[in-house]
């Protein structure tokens, strides 16, 4: 089962990341297709743990939970991507750069915590 789950998560992660890249077309300091792929891949794999199996089985496992969780996470990531910076307030360049660095650090910490939690959920499922 491990390899079938890995295959489903990999396939759905690749497809949803490709769709995400085509639809969003974002560029930014934190934006990385590799990071998006890792989150969608691990989230869809952990979705097998979170959701009760439903749908039509394929090769002995239900593939729809992988797709649903991967789609939810890709939509959440799409909502995070900002295509244009805010121009509402004028801020000094040094303050803006400091704020930008803090945001990048916060997103980096959040990314690694999320990856750790998803990997832990996957490991617990197979133990």
Per-residue pLDDT tens digits for 35-81: 888 888 888 888 877 777 766 777 777 777 888 888 887 888 777 77
Given a cut of 60, whether residue 84 has pLDDT beyond it is: no
- Of 126, 113, 112, 118, the closest CA to residue 46 belongs to 118
Residue 70: Cβ within 10 Å count: 26
Q: What is the pTM of this model?
A: 0.73
Contact between 125 and 48 (Cβ < 8 Å): yes
Amino acid 29: pLDDT:
44
pLDDT reading at 86 higher than 60:
no
Average pLDDT along the chain: 78
Greater confidence, 8 or 79? 8
């Amino acid at each position: 089962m491990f390899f079938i789950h890995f295959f489903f998560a990999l396939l759905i992660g690749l497809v949803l990341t490709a769709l995400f890249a085509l639809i969003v077309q974002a560029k930014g300091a934190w934006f990385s297709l590799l990071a998006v792929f890792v989150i969608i891949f691990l989230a869809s794999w952990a979705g097998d743990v979170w959701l009760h199996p439903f749908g039509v089985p394929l090769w002995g496992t239900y593939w729809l939970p992988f797709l649903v969780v991967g789609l939810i996470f890709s939509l959440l990531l799409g909502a995070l991507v900002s295509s244009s910076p805010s121009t509402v307030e004028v801020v000094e360049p040094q303050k803006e750069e400091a704020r930008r660095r803090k945001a990048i650090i916060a997103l980096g910490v959040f990314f690694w915590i999320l990856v750790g939690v998803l990997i832990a959920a996957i490991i617990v499922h197979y133990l």
